[in-house]
Amino acid sequence: YGFCLPHKGLMELVESVHRLKQAGKPVRLRLVNAEYPVGESRDLVAELKAAAQRLGVTDLIEMHNDFLPDAESLRLLSEADLLIFAYQNTGESASGAVRYGMATQKPVAVTPL
């Protein structure tokens, strides 16, 4: 959830879907990550779609890359069984996105940064 930026760990999530599929595990991934108006965000959206295609998991991944109203974002998040914030290297000291996830009262998994 949040903006589609490299430090969010989104590529790692797409790759995880492939590994889970290969292991015969039921999995679906919903990415609610708006494209931020910078080249690296636009590029990442394209790279995520290409990776899903290359790995054969496009049918298992639902991508929402438009900036959505808070109510719509929260609805999409609240429909999930688990919210994953797979942040990689970042200089952020706090995450507004994680707080939104917690507001859904769904289980939240985060990386230990």
> Is 60 in contact with 26 (CB distance < 8 Å)?
no
pTM score: 0.90
Tokens of 97: 């996105």
> Is it true that domain 2-110 has CATH number 1.20.1290.10?
no
pLDDT confidence of residue 8: 93
Domain ranges in the chain are 2-110
pLDDT confidence of residue 92: 63
> Is 33 in contact with 72 (CB distance < 8 Å)?
no
Tell me phi and psi for residue 78, to 5 degrees: -70, -15
pLDDT tens across 73-107, in order? 999 999 999 999 998 876 665 678 889 899 999 99
